[in-house]
Amino acid sequence: MKKNFVIAFAAAALVALVVFSATAPAQTASPPKAGKDVPRAADGHPDMTGVWQGGSNRIGTWEDTNDGEGPLGQSGPITPFAVTTPQPKPPYQEWAAKKVLESYKMRGIDEPMVRCLPPGVPRTTLMGLFPMQIVQTPKTIVMLFEVFHLFRIIPIDAKHPDDLEPSYMGDSVGHWEGDTLVVDVTGFNDKTWLSGVGTFHSEKLHVVEKFTRVDLNTIAYEDTVEDPDVLTGPWTRHGTIMLRPGTRIREYECVENNQDMKEYEEMMKNPSVFQRK
C-alpha cells in the first residue's frame, strides 16, 4: 500500500508539474497585445464576442477539452499564453488568515455556492467547466455565465453609480487601454469567496480585471484584488480564458434539486467525520 502511494504520488507530481505549468498565465512586464489573428470590432478594439471558458488553458471545443482524467478533467493542446509560474496566494491579515483556515479545516462546508448563491467576482470569471458568453459593442460589454444564470453588464467609459447597494457580482465599468479591456468592479457584499475555500472578503472589496484577446483562442486575464479590511495589500493573479467554438450557453438553474444543503446539515452533526486533522 505504501509502495503504491509512493508510485502514485510520484506520477501525480509529474502530471501536476505538466498541468500546473500550463495553468499559471504568461507574465510579461509590458501589457499584452492582440495578435494578428485576433478579430477586430468596427471601432478597432479586439473583438471578444463569442463563447469562452475560464479556468482553462486548452485550445479546442468544450467537448475536446473537458474530457480528460484527474481533478481538472481537461485535455487537448495548451495555449502558448498559458501561465508558467505558480500564482500567489491571497495575503490575508493574520486574524483573517485564521478564519480562512477554519473554513479550510472544514473542507469548505460553508461554501456559498452550495446555497446556490452567486460566486461573485473574480471567482465567476475564472470558474472552470461552465462556459460564458461575451457580447461586445462599442458602448457596452455583456458577459453571460452559464453557472447560475449570472450576467455582468460593463458600460465603457462610464462611472460607477452613486447609489450602489452591496451585491454579489458588484458593479462593473470598463475602459480600453490599448488592446486590453480594463474592468473596475466595486459595490460588493461580503457573501462570496475570492477564489479557493474560505477566501472571504469585506464589502470594501475592489477588483480590477484586465482582458486581452492575445490570439484567436486565448484571452489573457489578470485580476488585482484589494480589500483593506482583510488583506495586507493587493493580490494579483493571472489566468487564461479559452474560446469554445460551437458551444452555446445552456440553462444551469441551481435551486431545482439541491440535496447538498440537507446533506451538509447532517454532516455538521458530527464534523469529526469530515474535518481535516
Partner 1 sequence: MKLRLFAILLASIGLLLGTSVPARAHHSFGVEYDVNKPVTLTGVITKIEWTNPHSFVFIDIKDASGKVTNWRFEGYPPTVLYRTGWKRDVTMKAGDEITVYGWQSRVGGPWGHARQITFADGKKLYFGPGPGTGDGGASLPVAVPPSN
Touching partner 1, residues 165-224 (CB under 8 A): 195-199
CA 12/CA 19 separation, integer angstroms = 10
Let me know the angle formed at the C-alpha of 214 by 213 and 217, rounded to the nearest 5 degrees.
Answer: 75
In terms of CB distance, is 37 or 63 closer to partner 1? 63
In terms of CB distance, is 35 or 112 closer to partner 1? 112
Q: By C-alpha distance, which of 105, 124, 122 is closest to 113? A: 124
Sequential DSSP letters for 196-239: STT----TT-EEEEEEEE-SSSEEEEEEEEE-TTTBSS-EEEEE
Other beta carbons less than 10 A from residue 133's beta carbon: 18
In terms of CB distance, is 103 or 136 closer to partner 1? 103
In terms of CB distance, is 63 or 157 closer to partner 1? 63
Is there binding between residue 13 and partner 1 (CB under 8 A)? yes
Residues 114-153 that bind partner 1 (CB under 8 A): 114, 116, 119, 123, 126-130, 146
In terms of CB distance, is 177 or 263 closer to partner 1? 263
Binding part of the chain for partner 1, among 12-20, 29-37, 132-140, 220-228 by CB under 8 A, reads 12-20
Binding part of the chain for partner 1, among 20-28, 33-41, 163-171, 211-219 by CB under 8 A, reads 20-28
Task: Report yes or no: 189 and 171 within 8 Å, Cβ to Cβ.
Answer: no
Binding part of the chain for partner 1, among 14-22, 41-49, 160-168, 203-211 by CB under 8 A, reads 14-22
In terms of CB distance, is 91 or 155 closer to partner 1? 91
Task: Report yes or no: 223 and 84 within 8 Å, Cβ to Cβ.
Answer: no
Task: Report yes or no: 119 and 225 within 8 Å, Cβ to Cβ.
Answer: no
Q: Which strands sit side by side in the sheet containing 140-145, from one edge to the other? A: 150-155, 140-145, 131-136, 50-53, 235-243, 218-226, 206-213, 180-186, 171-177
Binding part of the chain for partner 1, among 10-18, 167-175, 177-185, 221-229 by CB under 8 A, reads 10-18
Is there binding between residue 162 and partner 1 (CB under 8 A)? no
Contacting partner 1 (CB under 8 A), which of 42, 139, 251, 277?
Answer: 251
Residues 46-65 that bind partner 1 (CB under 8 A): 54-56, 62-63
229's grid cell: 479590511
Is there binding between residue 109 and partner 1 (CB under 8 A)? yes
Residues 65-94 that bind partner 1 (CB under 8 A): 66-67, 69-73, 86-94
Helix (H, G, I), strand (E, B) or coil at 141: strand
